[in-house]
Every structure is written in structure tokens, then in C-alpha cells.
């Protein structure tokens, strides 16, 4: 099983966003992007658990819970 960092550094987040094409996985928008943990566990940094969202999309996802 692969080991992933417990916490994502700012550099890790930038790299993930860059590898994903620099836009939101949800809408394709560019701009103020963040990393969302699909299972809501910030320690699960498996790439399959991470989504790139705009700041607004990320806020909206968490507001629905």
C-alpha cells in the first residue's frame, strides 16, 4: 500500500492542482482553487480521495453537510 503524507503542504496542493490541469474537477473553472477530501478525512491524502474545487464550490460542498 502506498504511503501518502498525513498533511498536504501548500506546495503539495499546488502540485496536485497543476497535475489536474489547473481547473476545478467539478466545473472546469480556473482561479481560486482548493483541495477537497471526498471522505472528509484530511489525513487521507490518497489521490483518489482528493478533488480540486473552486473556493466557492468547496464552501458549498461543506455547507450541504
Q: How many CA atoms does the CB half-sphere of 22 hold within 13 Å?
A: 3
Higher pLDDT, 2 or 33: 33
Q: List, for residues 11-25, the tens digit of each pLDDT value.
A: 999 999 999 999 999
Of how many residues is the chain composed?
65
Higher pLDDT, 5 or 55: 55
What confidence score (pLDDT) does residue 28 get?
97
Q: Name, in order, each residue with C-beta under 8 angstroms of 60's C-beta and a sequence gap of 6 or more.
A: none
Confidence grade of residue 6 (pLDDT, cut at 50, 70, 90): confident
pTM for this prediction: 0.89
Q: Name, in order, each residue with C-beta under 8 angstroms of 56's C-beta and a sequence gap of 6 or more.
A: 32
Residue written as grid cell 501548500: 10
Percent of the chain's residues with pLDDT above 90 = 86
Amino acid at each position: 500500500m502506498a504511503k501518502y503524507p498525513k498533511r498536504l503542504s501548500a506546495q503539495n496542493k499546488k502540485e496536485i492542482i497543476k497535475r489536474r490541469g489547473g481547473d476545478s474537477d467539478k466545473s472546469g473553472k480556473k482561479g481560486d482553487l482548493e483541495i477537497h477530501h471526498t471522505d472528509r478525512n484530511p489525513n487521507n491524502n490518497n489521490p483518489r480521495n482528493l478533488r480540486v474545487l473552486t473556493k466557492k464550490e468547496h464552501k458549498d460542498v461543506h455547507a450541504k453537510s
